[in-house]
């Protein structure tokens, strides 16, 4: 699953965790979030402002 970072506050949306507080369960793909979905931490940045993070080797 992919991860996306808010370019305002560095919050990371992790598809494997979702955004439970806003009604998006674990496994919700970033592409499935509405375009006006706001960062749950800073509430300033919307979905288009997020940047996909590169996968790192574990």
| End-to-end CA gap in the chain | 14
Separation of alpha carbons 9 and 11, rounded Å: 6
Task: Give the domain ranges of the chain.
Answer: 3-52
CA distances from 28 to 15, 18, 19, 47 (A): 6, 5, 8, 14
Instruction: Quote the pLDDT of residue 58.
Output: 56
pLDDT digit string, tens, across residues 8-51:
999 999 999 999 999 999 999 999 999 999 999 999 999 999 99
Q: Which of helix, strand or coil describes residue 46?
A: strand
Strand partners, 24: 19
Domain covering 3-52 in this structure, CATH number = 2.20.28.10
Model's pTM, two decimal places? 0.88
């Amino acid at each position: 699953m992919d991860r996306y970072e808010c370019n305002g506050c560095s919050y990371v949306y992790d598809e494997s965790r979702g955004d439970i507080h806003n009604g998006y369960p674990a496994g919700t793909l970033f592409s499935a979030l509405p375009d006006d979905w706001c960062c749950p931490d800073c509430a300033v940045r919307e979905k288009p402002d997020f940047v996909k993070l590169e996968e790192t080797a574990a």
